[in-house]
């Protein structure tokens, strides 16, 4: 990839994020020097996609406590809690955010006997570990998923679950990149993904950069494109997967899943274990973020809708597990019934990447 979605600048102590609100027009990097700017970047979608949000939030905690003058664990831990709470309030749906923040809180707790400056160093090491594990996880998801694709096949995807959504090569798109690297001819149909256009602005951009064939369609065209026999499978990412295999992902995924079912097209979800929330039984427990009206009523050319019109803008939906043909994780591929297969994979021995 000739871009870097997230980078921690060790010399400057700055989190550098590719500002995704400016793509595809401009490749501009945002420099976050404090926790507030990280929280704003997550809320404002400069950094987005479940794994990338988790990684950014981990570094946000590092920035939030680095100037702490606390001289013992108890007062330092209160500052860690404040940092975690601030970041946890940014976006509610992607569980990776809460998973990463919990790892950071636990790291501080485990180091409670150490001097505060050592705890700060341990927090930075943990954020770096979360990031490097994410890179490796993406590669493994790609390898497991690519085995399911044959040369000449076409994949429909929704939103962006690629390198822009992770620290590595993505989740859904990792499968495509891996198949492409193995020499398979794979073509992607990218839904534009109203209202924020992650498909048009981000997925089409990164696939084109990587030299993978991509055709952009409006969301409303997916049914026709499937009916024309152009799609062999759908691959999407996830923001949170419940224990029963229900999947929260970008708004519109549920509709695509119903269409895929109607056209006998398999739908695969590619997601790291950090997106799987075994603490909830079903998707009905997943909080769905509702974003502001302007994302729908304002376009780049001005207003799309009359000022007075009421707008409802849920950013995610939940696809029932019955529409999901398989869940591709770094630990292997889960199939129905997911309550059993996901639980089994959760016990699977898995070594996180070694970190320096
Ligand atoms: O609102 P976004 O752009 O953060 O939504 C992103 C998605 O829905 C992705 O499909 C999901 O996070 C998986 S990213 C690997």
CATH code (residue 123): 1.20.120.420
Based on the fold, state whether residues 242 and 341 are members of the same structural domain: yes
Based on the fold, state whether residues 78 and 99 are members of the same structural domain: yes
Q: How many domains does one find in the chain?
A: 2
- Say if ligand 1 is within 6 A of residue 318 CB: no
Nearest CA to ligand 1 atom 8: 250
Asked, for residue 70, whether it belongs to a domain, the answer is yes
- Say if ligand 1 is within 6 A of residue 250 CB: yes
Q: Enumerate residues 6+ apart whose C-beta is below 8 A from 239.
A: 50, 93, 94, 95, 96, 248, 249, 250, 275, 316
Based on the fold, state whether residues 57 and 173 are members of the same structural domain: no
Based on the fold, state whether residues 116 and 157 are members of the same structural domain: no
Asked, for residue 326, whether it belongs to a domain, the answer is yes
Based on the fold, state whether residues 114 and 193 are members of the same structural domain: no
- Say if ligand 1 is within 6 A of residue 198 CB: yes
pTM exceeding the 0.95 threshold for the entire prediction: yes
CA of 75 to the centre of ligand 1 (A): 35
pLDDT of residue 356: 33
pLDDT of residue 91: 98
**Assigned token pair, 5:** 């979605």
pLDDT of residue 132: 98
Q: Say how far apart CA 210 and CA 203 lie, in whole Å.
A: 11
Based on the fold, state whether residues 191 and 340 are members of the same structural domain: yes
Q: Do residues 137 and 330 lie in contact, with contact meaning Cβ atoms separated by under 8 Å?
A: yes
Q: Do residues 194 and 200 lie in contact, with contact meaning Cβ atoms separated by under 8 Å?
A: no
Q: Do residues 245 and 327 lie in contact, with contact meaning Cβ atoms separated by under 8 Å?
A: yes
Based on the fold, state whether residues 100 and 168 are members of the same structural domain: no
pLDDT of residue 299: 84
Q: Which domain holds residue 13?
A: 6-138
* DSSP-assigned beta bridge partners for residue 333: 328
- Say if ligand 1 is within 6 A of residue 165 CB: yes
Asked, for residue 119, whether it belongs to a domain, the answer is yes
pLDDT tens readout for residues 187-241: 999 999 999 999 999 999 999 999 999 999 999 999 999 999 999 999 999 999 9
Asked, for residue 39, whether it belongs to a domain, the answer is yes
- Candidates 104, 13, 86; CA nearest to 43 is 86
DSSP element (H, E) containing 15? strand 14-18
Residue 332 backbone dihedrals phi, psi, to 5 degrees: 140, -175
Asked, for residue 310, whether it belongs to a domain, the answer is yes
CATH number, domain containing residue 168: 3.40.50.10470
SS (H, E, C) 40-57: HHHHCCCCCCHHHHHHHH
High-pLDDT (> 90) share of the chain, % = 95
Asked, for residue 74, whether it belongs to a domain, the answer is yes
CA of 158 to the centre of ligand 1 (A): 9
pLDDT tens readout for residues 274-326: 999 999 999 999 999 999 999 999 987 899 999 899 999 999 999 999 999 99
Based on the fold, state whether residues 105 and 203 are members of the same structural domain: no
pLDDT of residue 352: 54
Based on the fold, state whether residues 174 and 105 are members of the same structural domain: no
CA of 251 to the centre of ligand 1 (A): 10
* End-of-domain residue from the set 138, 162, 189: 138
pLDDT confidence band for 1 (50 / 70 / 90): confident
Asked, for residue 101, whether it belongs to a domain, the answer is yes
Based on the fold, state whether residues 204 and 319 are members of the same structural domain: yes
Asked, for residue 276, whether it belongs to a domain, the answer is yes
Residue 239 is a catalytic residue: yes
* End-of-domain residue from the set 79, 107, 138: 138
Based on the fold, state whether residues 167 and 261 are members of the same structural domain: yes
Q: Provide the residue count of the chain.
A: 356
Based on the fold, state whether residues 118 and 168 are members of the same structural domain: no
* End-of-domain residue from the set 138, 156, 191: 138
């Amino acid at each position: 990839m000739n871009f870097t979605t997230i980078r921690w600048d060790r010399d400057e102590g700055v989190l550098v994020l590719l500002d995704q609100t400016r793509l595809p027009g401009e490749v501009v990097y945002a420099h976050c020097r404090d926790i507030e700017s990280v929280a704003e970047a997550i809320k404002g979608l400069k950094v987005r996609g479940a794994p990338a949000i988790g990684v950014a939030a981990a570094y946000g905690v590092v920035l939030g406590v680095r100037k702490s003058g606390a001289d013992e664990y108890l007062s330092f831990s209160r500052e860690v809690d404040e940092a975690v709470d601030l970041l946890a309030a940014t976006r509610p749906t992607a569980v990776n955010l809460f998973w990463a923040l919990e790892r950071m809180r636990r790291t501080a707790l485990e180091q409670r006997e150490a001097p505060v400056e050592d705890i700060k160093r341990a927090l930075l090491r943990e954020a770096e570990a979360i990031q490097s594990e994410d890179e490796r996880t993406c590669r493994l998801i790609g390898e497991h998923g690519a085995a399911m694709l044959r040369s000449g096949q076409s994949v429909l995807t929704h939103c962006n679950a690629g390198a822009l959504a992770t620290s590595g090569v993505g989740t859904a798109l990792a499968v495509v990149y891996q198949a492409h690297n193995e020499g398979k001819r794979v073509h992607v149909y990218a839904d534009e993904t109203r209202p924020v256009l992650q498909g048009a602005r981000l997925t089409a951009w990164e696939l084109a950069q990587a030299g993978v064939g991509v055709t952009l369609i409006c969301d409303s065209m997916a049914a026709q494109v499937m009916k024309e026999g152009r799609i062999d499978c759908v691959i999407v990412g996830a923001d949170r997967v419940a224990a029963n295999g229900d999947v929260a992902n970008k708004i519109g995924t549920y509709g695509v899943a119903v269409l895929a079912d109607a056209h006998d097209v398999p739908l695969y979800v590619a997601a790291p274990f950090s997106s799987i929330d075994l603490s909830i039984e079903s998707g009905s427990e997943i909080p769905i973020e509702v974003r502001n009206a302007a994302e729908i009523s304002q376009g780049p050319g001005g207003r799309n809708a009359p000022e007075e019109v009421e707008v409802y803008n849920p950013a995610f939906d939940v696809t029932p597990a019955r529409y999901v043909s398989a869940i591709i994780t770094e630990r292997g591929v889960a199939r129905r019934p997911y309550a059993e297969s996901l639980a089994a994979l959760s016990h699977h021995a898995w070594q996180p990447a070694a970190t320096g």
